[in-house]
Structure 1
């Protein structure tokens, strides 16, 4: 009889968290959100439908589970306007695509990145997030 160490099976999301965020996926998200911004003001827009999301984005739900440190590092590559579009996307993805982030939502480190740049979310943006999310942790995380 031998005694071995049991190791639990690793989930795909854990494997994905070790990968670098693919900028082409984020570019696709930004293009989608920019298209929706053309239809209405991004600060007052009630909602954007993500129903007709390309399969490459629909299958990228693992993005919602990446560690905050990765998102903070990635956020340095994007402008404040682009970060707002990413915040909008991940806020909507939680409700419309069931990409549950909870206290680990990408919205939190993206908003933190804006704060570090001294670019605070406006009152309208905060109201938009609240109006389009049931996640009590958005946009600043647990207290």
Structure 2
């Protein structure tokens, strides 16, 4: 008899970690969010195409953030915050894309402002946003 550690088969995470991020899709999301929208009902196509984005690894988001300006990252944070709140099948929890995107801003010495933090709190019931689990 052998004793070892059981590790759950996290196939869903493994599958999404291998997928490349669609930069054109993210640009459409950024452009739409830049218009000031707070409702995602006008983003049906983007939401359907982007649903798998919510399951990407934090390391992928940190690397992807290198391609975006601080303002564009804020637009992506807004999108993922609203998606979790407005769409029942988008529950990021501790794996939310908001967490590594906020970390990317902190690493740039451009952390979220007080107003941005308040906006996230007002538009999310995810207790892990924006900094993740302790």
- Seen in structure 2, the aligned counterparts of structure 1 residues 113 and 84 have a Cα distance that, compared at 3 Å, is same
Give the TM-score normalised by the residue count of structure 2. 0.86
Q: Which residue pairs with 1:21 in the alignment?
A: 21
Aligned equivalent of 1:122, options 94, 113, 119 = 113
**Count of aligned positions:** 125
Structure 2: where are the runs of 5+ without partners?
A: 1-8
Which structure has more helix as a fraction of its residues? 2
**1:121 is paired with a residue of what secondary structure?**
coil
1:9 offset after TM fit, Å? 9.8
Aligned to 2:131: 140
Distance 1:23 1:96 in 2: 23
**Root-mean-square deviation (Å):** 1.7
The 1:101/1:79 distance shift into structure 2, 3 A limit, reads same
Deviation at 1:55, TM superposition (A): 1.8
Call closer, same or farther: CA 1:82–1:10 in 2, change over 3 Å. Answer: same
Contact 1:25 1:57 survives alignment (8 Å): no
Tell me if the contact between 1:108 and 1:141 (Cα under 8 Å) persists in the aligned partners. Answer: yes
Q: Does 1:87 align with 2:73?
A: no
Distance 1:56 1:131, change over 3 A: closer
Map 1:58-137 to 2 at 5 A.
58-98=48-88, 99-137=90-128
Structure 1 gap segments, 5+ residues each = 1-7, 38-47
* Secondary structure of residue in 2 paired with 1:60: helix
